[in-house]
Amino acid sequence: MSDPDVFVEPKVLTDFIRKIFAQTGSNEAEANAIATSLVETSLMGHDSHGVSIVPRYVDRVLKGLIEPNQDITVVKNDGPALIIDGNRGYGQMIGRRAVTLAIEKAKSDRLVLMGIRNTHHLGRIGEWAEMCADAGLISMHFSNGINRPPVTAPFGGATARMGTAPYTAAFPRRNAPPILIDMASSVMAMNKVRIALNRGVQVPEGTIIDHAGNPTTDPSDLYTEPTGALLPVGGHKGYALGVAVEMFAGALTGGGVMIEGRASDGATINGLFSVIFDPELMIDRAYYDAEIEAYYEYLKSTPPAPGVDAVLVPGDPEQISLKKRMASGVPIDATSWAEMCQAARDAGLNDTEIPATKSD
């Protein structure tokens, strides 16, 4: 086992990360958007896409692989179709501006098919689905990553050919957080394996294979040359879902699909295809609201199996994590925290600007 996690108070952590990205060239609005998004992602329990990713962002911006302070470019706005180029900017800012525009369009047109291309890592896709739900809209999102090596093996394959291909959907509820499905089509997100490696723990069986295609639980097999691969969730079913996600996010946005051998400089460039619509396009809103609540309560009333405290509905784990971590602070594995502190120094901060932490 590695050193124990450290904990940082959310506001303190947000201010720290904001300073880092302000120091690397982002204006106030962008630095705040990045910091707020990453901390909220960690608060929601998605550590793989939260603050632990700061060092990789800093490394890429210092190498010129991310363009700070970029705005969106509307490539197409025709009927329900909206295609946006992110100009290789930070996904936390590009995503917010693009989804804001899509929500405005959906409010007037009731249905939007949005594509985002050429943007740096969009972070937790559930953030954009939550924005749509907050506006009373249903949404589905399909995301791919290009300009980097593949990490997931096709079903039955011995080597990686795919990304983690996240699928996300959110259904708004009356006066409550949405039902939120936010998942990779691989068994585990890539950075969750990295965090397991940092913490010195094994990953569950059926998560990864080594470079020869053999099952392994050692997370280092995914990061040691020759590298292994993630496995698709649910075997052939997750593989099929991942293929569909790649088609939507890559082929329909103009951003391109992941094919090994294409030119790459190491930055993670995302594509996103989103279907965003007003439920009243299909059905009376009162009926929709009643059915959503009835089904939510029906699922929650399921008697739990032995060893299970309660049956949860998609979106519940994020809300439970948010409440807990707002009180206890954001947990960060010791290796990621050391990397974050070094990234801050690389960005130009001094040690007096690195916040104090507490242990569990």
Q: What is the 3-state secondary structure (H, E, C) of the chain?
A: CCCCCEEECHHHHHHHHHHHHHHCCCCHHHHHHHHHHHHHHHHCCCHHHCHHHHHHHHHHHHCCCCCCCCCCEEEEEECCEEEEECCCCCHHHHHHHHHHHHHHHHHHHCEEEEEEEEEECCCCCHHHHHHHHHCCCEEEEEEEEECCCCCECCCCCCCCCECCCCEEEEEEECCEEEEEEEECCECCCHHHHHHHHHHCCCCCCCCEECCCCCEECCHHHHCCCCCCEECECCCHHHHHHHHHHHHHHHHCCCCCCCCCCCCCCCCCEEEEEEEEECHHHCCCHHHHHHHHHHHHHHHHCCCCCCCCCCCCCCCHHHHHHHHHHHHHCEEECHHHHHHHHHHHHHHCCCHHHCCCCEEC
Q: Picking from 149-153, 262-266, 284-288, which range would have the lowest pLDDT averaged per residue?
A: 262-266
- Quote the CA–CA distance of 273 and 179 in Å, as a whole number: 20
Domain locations along the chain: 1-69+298-352, 80-186+235-286, 196-231
For residues 267 and 278, the model is more confident at: 278
Specify the pTM.
0.96
CATH code linked to domain 1-69+298-352 = 1.10.1530.10
User: Which of 300, 298, 360 lies closest to 332, judged by CA?
Assistant: 360
Strands of the sheet containing 6-8, edge to edge, are: 330-332, 6-8, 358-359
Q: In 10 A of CB 62, how many CB atoms?
A: 15
Q: Are strands 81-85 and 111-120 parallel, antiparallel or unpaired?
A: parallel
Provide the pLDDT for residue 214: 98
Per-residue model confidence as pLDDT tens digits over 33-67: 999 999 999 999 999 999 999 999 999 999 999 99
pLDDT of 13 > 90? The answer is yes
Provide the pLDDT for residue 294: 98
User: Which of 268, 67, 44 lies closest to 150, judged by CA?
Assistant: 268
Q: What fold does the segment set 80-186+235-286 form as a domain?
A: Ribosomal Protein S8; Chain: A, domain 1 (3.30.1370)
Could you check whether 80-186+235-286 and 196-231 share the same CATH topology? Answer: no
Per-residue model confidence as pLDDT tens digits over 171-194: 999 999 999 999 999 999 999 999
Rg over alpha carbons for the chain, rounded to the nearest Å, is 20
- Quote the CA–CA distance of 83 and 86 in Å, as a whole number: 10
CATH code linked to domain 196-231 = 3.30.60.50
Per-residue model confidence as pLDDT tens digits over 227-266: 999 999 999 999 999 999 999 999 999 999 999 778 788 8
Two tokens at 106? Answer: 């959906």
Per-residue model confidence as pLDDT tens digits over 299-320: 999 999 999 999 999 999 999 9
pLDDT of 1 > 70? The answer is no
Two tokens at 209? Answer: 């294979």
